[in-house]
A and B are shown apart, each in its own frame.
Chain A
Amino acid sequence: MCHVDTFDPKTIGDPRTNKPGSAYRSIPTAIPGVRVCQHLSRTAKLLDHGILLRTLNHPLKVDHADSTNLLKTGRRTSGTIIYPALGSLVSHQRGPRDPTVPPYVVVGYPNVTRGPGFLGSRYGYLYLTNPNAGPEFMKRPPDVDGIRLRRRKDLLRLLRAKEVTRSTADHSIREYNDAITEAQKLMDGSFAKTFDLTTEPGTTRERYGSAFGQRCLLARRLVESGVRFTEVAYDLNFRNGTGWDTHRHGQTAQYLLIQDLDHSLSALIEDLHLRGLLDETLIVVATEFGRPPDFDGQGGRGHQSAAFSAALFGGGLRTGQVIGATDDLGRSVVHRPISVPDFHATIMTALGMNAATELYDGDRPIPITDHGTAIRELFT
């Protein structure tokens, strides 16, 4: 996501003459003296609940997978350790708010960078891609009605009972059997209903808007049901062709994407605020790298990781601030750089975790962040 086109606007550039700079005008926000892109109008008004981190930086700017991995796990890939994603770390340290609910959910595609690494699959995530349908395995098949369901349960109960009697001492049978019981509880319980968006009023669904918005709405419901960490991936579905990776002609309709983000993000903030949940929910808006103020000769932008932005909302932090400053075109950090480990440490501290904890992979100690320190100014 290009920071100079969103949260860190600069003087206006011109793609046609290759003059570097922001592609859009900027507007004032609820933080005095702070401006954002004109297409973030709604979020701008809510910025008093937010914090702009304008000086994220890291050295990987070429490849998406590499950088995504760094942002998610806080470290580069190593041949000896598979680092867990932030969601798994949070899941490991805090668990879910409700023990019957999975602690870590991803609304997006499964990906090793989101995974639990050496912590093991217990701290993995449940994922779904379609907020209207829920995760693949939570919903009963549509052609299985009540009668069939009962029949299935009866037959299975018989088989299970038989097997348990036959192999009394066997751990594996017992464990799997217990897992079946737990699974049935999960399906029949209230968590499964979290995914049914049709119970939301139409006005709410409209206010959230597009596909991405529906994901945000689902995220709110997941928060309410007790999920500790939800990652919502941007569902590209071609608002502008290339999504956020605006090389070349992809830049042309980027503003549609920004407006989309604005629409849905502001809906989420307002909704949580209305329900009194904003103080205890931290919203993190992040990207794997930014994009330079320069245009690439065809109107788009390449990648830049020397300086880029992220945004935080709520979370009980001291909001209404901007941390860090970039130079006049947003190419480099001028004041207060924020490393990715610092970013992670901040999020963890906001969640009440100790950012200096050490985890263990076998007998090898692994600090939970790579020497990151939380941003002091955000905490009372």
Chain B
Amino acid sequence: MGISTVLTVTENPVSRALIFAPVQGHLYFNPLKSRGPAGEEGLLLALHTTSAEDRLKNAVWWICFMRILSRFRIILSTGLLLLASFSCTVCADEEQAIHLRFETAPQVQRGNYRAHGVLQATLSPGDLIVPPLQNRASGEFDGSSAIVYAVPGNTDGFAENFTWEGFFLSPATNTFQPETGIADRLLTQFAFAKGDWTRLAIGLVADDEGDPRLCVELEGFEGRSFGMGDQSFVADRWHHFALVHEGTAAAARIRWYLDYQLTGELFLGGQSDQNTLRPPGPAPFTIGARLKNGEQVNRGFHGFVDEIRMVPRPLTVSEFLRTDAALLQQTVSTDAMQAEHNKAFWDDRHRRAQEQAAQWTAERSASWSIDEYFDSSKPEIDDHAFLRRLSLAVRGRIPRVDEVTSFIADPRPDKRIGIIDQMLESDEWGDGWVGYWQDVLAENPSVVFPTLNNSGAFRQWIYESFRQNKPFDQFATELILMEKNSSHSETDDGPAGFGVATGNDAPMAMRSHVLMKAFAAVDLTCARCHDSPVDRFLQADLFQLAAYLKGGPLVIPNTSVAAVNRTHQQGVITTSLFTGQKIQPKGLSSHWLNKREDASSLRSVQPGPRAQLAALITSPHNRRFSDVFVNRMWKRFFGTGLVESVDQWNNFPGASHPELFHHLSTEFVTTGYNVKALARTIFRSRAWQRQRQRRRRMSGEQLVDSLFIAVGKDFRAETLGVHATDPGAVHLPQPHRAWQFASLPNERDRPALGMPVSQTIVNVMTAFGWSGSRQKPRSERELTTSSLQPLMLFNGLMSQRVTRLSEQSTVTQLCLRDISAAELVDNLFLTTVGRPPDQEERSKFTDVLRPGFDNRRTGQPARPIEPLSTFQPDWRKHLEAEQTRLMLDAQERVSRGEPPTVRLASDFRERVEDVLWALINSPEFVVIP
């Protein structure tokens, strides 16, 4: 018995291709990345052994199907299959094994299947295979891709005695879910009959220490059996896994193996009264994520697999696929290779940018400064105000009292330059930027089921990018590529999260709209549904971009065509596209590029249409890219842009200071799109340091972070996750800075999903213009002032917590020190409004604190600190009455707040709290100097 059918498929843009494998089995697959070690494209081969009489029948099928399938761009080696089928040797057993292997493309050439020497024509149990990654590709799964293989008619083979085995590699950056059901599934077999079903899966789950284990789960109508392997394993290395199922529908045993050692065992049915495996029937195996009706239901494995084999009998350990032991010991790091390649690319790119910018500089005067364009007679702000303004601009929070005193005490005349450099070096530079980009890029993750135009989470990636001072063109490129990159954090999908837009039937159109607004200041809102009535954009312009981002033709959905004849604005609104029309990815129109460029002449960081689009947009020839960003920076730090609008230059209004604008933009390109360098230039200018006529209120995040910093408290909020089972739902870590919050999960008014601590903080942020839900991109927060804002700070629970002198408050520590009442007042002013009190203030405030001041310390020891709330909502339990009770208890605790310190006399303590309250409620606290 030998191979009679080989399917070769390339990575293709069709999202689903149904291939009738002429043997048993339908192979469905999603565009799966199959890459060789040097990044070359790969193939998936399904090797299928069948009996001799089927072979001839199958060969006929193949010829018939080649015509039909050619439009799916499947490469079929047909005639050769006939050759192959007659040339192979016969196996001893009549098996119906299925073997899936990934191959690198160059090794299999159309019409020369024989040259592919490494392909095993025969696979017998115990065969030595050429290991993964040795001149070969492996299948790269990203948690949402899958191979689905259905075996109709083969109802017996895989219900009673069978083996699954294969090789997998889990990257070091992988994280795993704890045992709630296997999240990272390698293989699943689903069997369904009316009212009765089972699902057997083998996959990876985290143990108590967070290390991954190979686990097996059988879930069914009657319940669930689960077994965790007893071994963890090393990341970044290839491992062998196998699952052996022996038994009948009445009772069975499952054993599974890691690296040829038995690692777990489950008994089903029989005495243990649990499900046994139902016959699979027409239901499919999946490798990777589980799909249902084409939608992803469960998360799949993230990593690499190869050589997956399913054999309809229980194999012994000696019969498992073998490979060279030494190769299994090797740690694989594709990330390092990738990083090196990237660095070379960007260095080269920035060198070219410099060359380009040098040409522009020659056009205008060589030396310049910001200050020559502004009136230098206006006074600068004093050191206190300067430090506060700088700290908020750079780090998103007010300075701590020790930072204020040391800066004021610094005698050096150039201390402002020094502090600018120092602050820019801080990690908090990243914190300061996240909120801005969350708005501009419409980052909108959901902690529960995401259906309202949600994206994935990519905030951590934004933070990291700015913290590391990633060149801005690189930032934009990574975003446009929409891939998970190796530097992503545990909880973030990085730019891949940007690629998600749930509940949206044209997600790439949405993404195009966001990108164009963010980087090119082009507003394509209208083009979503019709041609723009006021400027030059056609619907086709947006959708061409979207096709480019998608990497393939795009079909116009019917929600994207305005019902023109229903509106009474016929003649003004036209649509140039119609429902169902297919748009091809074509080059970018000249609408938004300053200079037409031949895409093929521009090297992009990797192949593919998205990378090409990124290269075009970030090209130094595209002045708009740097112009738009420079303007955004200016607006962010000055309050008004050099160009009035930041994100809509459709009818370009011109800059207020054209020459300065030109200089800034050129310099930005020259420095290799260095954001910190631009910031430094801005902050050092007198123009930035002078008094403002129009000051701005702090943003919601700045306010919250500043309030907590002022009293040295931590949020102590919940983890932002409810273990929702939907794969799009995120599980974010406990927030330590305000940008780490998201919209909270109790949207269905289910009390047990409440997060009492987070709610108090989110309430304040929302009142001050933040929104957890960002369905649309925006470049500016709403600046309206409402009475709700002071109300929140007067009486809100967060505000109460901030003012309360609990053991956690640094103000408590302060009060316990040996200081005078006047010194205490000074400190309280410095810690909140960042300046010392004037004469009248000091006098009045000291009067308030003086009664009982000398006896303020009670001498009692501090009480131990208790948690503020121990409640963490859990989707799996949220319908239980007990959970609601726990939540309400937690809410009650949060209402009571942190217990006040017993180390200070209560009357004195209350006076200090009242002083704090007045200071944080004064307009001076809330408005940036």
Contact = CB atoms under 8 A, between A and B. Distances in A.
A173 B452 contact: no
Given A137-B795, A151-B848, A170-B695, A65 B747 contact: yes
A170 B693 contact: yes
Interface residues on A, range: 35 or more
Contacts of A79: 453, 501, 504, 506, 509-510, 513, 528, 775-776
Interface string B191-231: 00001000000000000000000000000000000000000
Contact of B926 (A108, A121, A176, A234): A176
B795 A141 contact: yes
Interface in A113-156: 113, 115, 120-122, 126, 129, 136-141, 143, 148, 151-152, 155-156
B776 A237 contact: no
Contact of A162 (B451, B841, B911): B841
Contacts of B754: 109
B379 to A, nearest CB: 14
B71 to A, nearest CB: 31
Nearest to B693: A169
B501 A172 contact: no
B791 A141 contact: no
B358 interface: no
Nearest to A241: B879
Contact of B923 (A63, A80, A173, A371): A173
A141 B800 contact: yes
A172 B639 CA distance: 13
Given A172-B697, A180-B790, A155 B845 contact: yes
Interface in B725-783: 743-744, 746-751, 754, 760, 763, 766, 769, 771-773, 775-776, 782
B749 A236 contact: yes
B693 A151 contact: no
Contact of B782 (A121, A163, A169): A121
Nearest to B789: A179
Contact of A80 (B528, B766, B788, B848): B528
Nearest to A143: B910
Interface stretch (B321-329, B606-614, B914-922): B914-922
Nearest to B503: A77
Given A163-B923, A235-B751, A112 B911 contact: no
A122 B923 contact: no
B776 A81 contact: yes
A139 B748 CA distance: 26
B696 interface: yes
A66 interface: yes
A275 interface: no
A158 B787 contact: no
| Residue of A110, A120, A187, A241 most packed against chain B (CB within 10 A) | A110
Interface in A71-87: 76-82
B922 A160 contact: yes
Given A155-B844, A172-B694, A179 B796 contact: no
A122 B786 contact: yes
Given A155-B844, A159-B922, A237-B884, A136 B797 contact: yes
B924 interface: yes
| Residue of A109, A177, A187, A234 most packed against chain B (CB within 10 A) | A109
Contacts of B845: 155
Contact of A77 (B452, B782, B910): B452
Contact of B695 (A113, A172, A241): A172
A16 interface: no
| Residue of A108, A126, A237, A242 most packed against chain B (CB within 10 A) | A237
14 contacts: A68-B747, A77-B452, A78-B559, A79-B510, A80-B528, A109-B744, A112-B452, A120-B782, A137-B788, A172-B696, A180-B790, A236-B884, A238-B884, A297-B195
Given A112-B743, A364-B526, 7 more contacts: A63-B451, A79-B513, A109-B746, A112-B773, A158-B918, A170-B693, A172-B694
Top 6 nearest A-B pairs (CB, nearest first) are A155-B918, A159-B922, A112-B773, A79-B510, A182-B787, A183-B790
